[in-house]
């Protein structure tokens, strides 16, 4: 794709995400939001014009810095007979697809956390492919599966992150998603692992609609 029209998201220091050539922006109700060739998307959680930046980040003390006590990066592997499951907790957005939909495989609070032999490997692979943050990936027959060539889209999860597919991320501070074609970006401003969502929106009770 021509570099000038390729969709991209740039992380600006202590400010919004700058999305270029993104044509599909959808909210949690499935409603398509009108896009522009260049859009600034709020990541401080304070805008009164969500999802767009309205300059509030300059007044509310927002910092794009990471916290030292964030979950460390690193991939754990759970080896099974026909499939191995990989998890990088560092970029998990804790939306819970895995533990909710395949609880016999993904065991919240248990050690080991995953049992790759509990169900058909294809079922596990299908579930992992729906993990929005890219924290999960898998290996079958010696082949690692982590990027799935999605159509470019930013999906705004209700009271949660931007779930991004098929769009290149450019963070001048060097952060890279675990999976380059899908990842979850913090929208509430509270992640300890910016620019990625780490589930902190639940802790701070981030709401799209303020009471
Ligand atoms: S990042 Fe600008 S208002 Fe939130």
Going along the chain from its start, the domains and CATH numbers come out as 76-145 (3.30.70)
Q: Is 53 in the pocket of ligand 1 (CB under 6 A)?
A: yes
Q: Is 56 in the pocket of ligand 1 (CB under 6 A)?
A: yes
Residues 162-186 as b/e (b if ≥16 CB within 10 A, e otherwise) read: bbbbbbebebeeebebbbebbbbbb
Question: 96 CA distance to ligand 1 centroid (A)?
Answer: 27
Q: Is 54 in the pocket of ligand 1 (CB under 6 A)?
A: yes
> To the nearest whole percent, how much of the chain has pLDDT over 70?
96
Q: Is 50 in the pocket of ligand 1 (CB under 6 A)?
A: no
Q: What is the pLDDT of residues 175-206, one digit of tens each?
A: 888 898 999 999 999 999 999 999 999 999 99
Say yes or no to pLDDT of 4 above 70: no
pLDDT band for position 23 (cuts 50, 70, 90): very high
pLDDT band for position 35 (cuts 50, 70, 90): very high
Say yes or no to pLDDT of 70 above 80: no
Please compute Rg for the chain using Cα positions. Answer: 17
């Amino acid at each position: 794709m021509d570099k000038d029209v390729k969709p991209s998201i740039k992380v600006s220091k202590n400010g919004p995400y700058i999305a270029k050539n993104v044509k599909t922006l959808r909210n949690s109700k499935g409603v398509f939001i009108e896009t522009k060739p260049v859009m600034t998307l709020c990541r401080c959680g304070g805008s009164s014009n969500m999802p767009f930046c309205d300059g509030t980040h300059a007044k509310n003390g927002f910092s794009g810095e990471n916290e030292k006590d964030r979950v460390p990066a690193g991939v754990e592997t759970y080896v099974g007979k026909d499939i191995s499951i990989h998890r990088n907790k560092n970029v998990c957005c804790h939306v819970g697809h895995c533990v909710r939909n395949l609880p016999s495989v993904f065991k919240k609070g248990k050690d080991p956390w995953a049992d790759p032999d509990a169900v058909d490997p294809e079922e596990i692979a299908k579930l992992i492919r729906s993990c929005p943050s890219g924290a999960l990936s898998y290996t079958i027959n010696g082949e690692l599966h982590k990027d799935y060539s999605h159509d470019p889209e930013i999906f705004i999860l209700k009271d949660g992150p931007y779930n991004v597919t098929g769009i290149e991320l450019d963070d001048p501070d060097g952060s890279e998603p675990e999976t380059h074609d899908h990842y979850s970006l913090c929208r509430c401003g509270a992640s300890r692992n910016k620019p990625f969502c780490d589930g902190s929106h639940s802790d701070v009770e981030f709401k799209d609609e303020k009471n």
